[in-house]
Amino acid sequence: MNTANLSALRYHTPLGEKYGRNQILVDLAAQGRRILELGCADGFISRHLAERGCTVTGIEADSEAAGHAKKWCDRVLVYDLNRPGWSSMLGKDFDTVLCGDVLEHLVDPWNTLREISKVLTIGGRVVVSLPNIANLRIRLNLLMGRFHYQTGGILDITHLRFFTLKTARELIEESGYRIISFHPVVGGRATRHLRLLFPKLFAGQLLFVAVPR
């Protein structure tokens, strides 16, 4: 699979149902007013934040996707987050920084989280979504000897890091944050409450809200 031909436009997904990843991300992020979205793709999340009255700044490495995001963001920086120093191009103006399934694509997500603290206002927070590599479906596939990269999802071929619930927490806490809430994405079907009891197994994404210590 040739990763050079993969565009960030492939991540565009609808808002989805009440308990889906996108809806939870928007609900959490929209509690702020001035939002920085890292890896904003074409602005498919930024759009819903702007429609709720938020002011959104985006950072996106894919220039084509960034061009689409300008429709919803007040400002979009075309920048590779693997390069340090992006925080110097922004003020300490954001009450919320949104990392929606972006940190796993980076060489050093610890450094990115530390840099985020430089653009947060006093009392600001970061909203983080990470895919759960220990999801039951992945475990069962491994049991059968299958580990096939894909163009999206938990086994996205551009993922450089993989996280379980334990290591996701460690990533955030080791980067200087205190986790104040956890929101596993397990879907909204009839057995939702049962699956919430076992997020390590059933969560597809692991969502956290954290504040700098």
What domains are defined for the chain? 3-212 (3.40.50.150)
Which pLDDT score is estimated for 2? 65
Q: From residue 210, how far is each of 23, 56, 98, 127 by CA, in Å?
A: 18, 19, 11, 7
Which pLDDT score is estimated for 4? 63
Q: What is residue 213's DSSP assignment?
A: -
- Using DSSP's 3-state secondary structure scheme, residue 43 falls into coil
48-72 confidence digits (pLDDT tens)? 999 999 999 999 999 999 999 999 9
pLDDT band at 1 (very low <50, low <70, confident <90, very high): low
CA 15 to chain centre: 14
- Contact criterion met (CB below 8 Å) for 89 and 36: no
Say how many C-beta atoms besides its own lie within 10 A of residue 11's C-beta: 21
The model's pTM is 0.95
Total residues belonging to the chain: 213
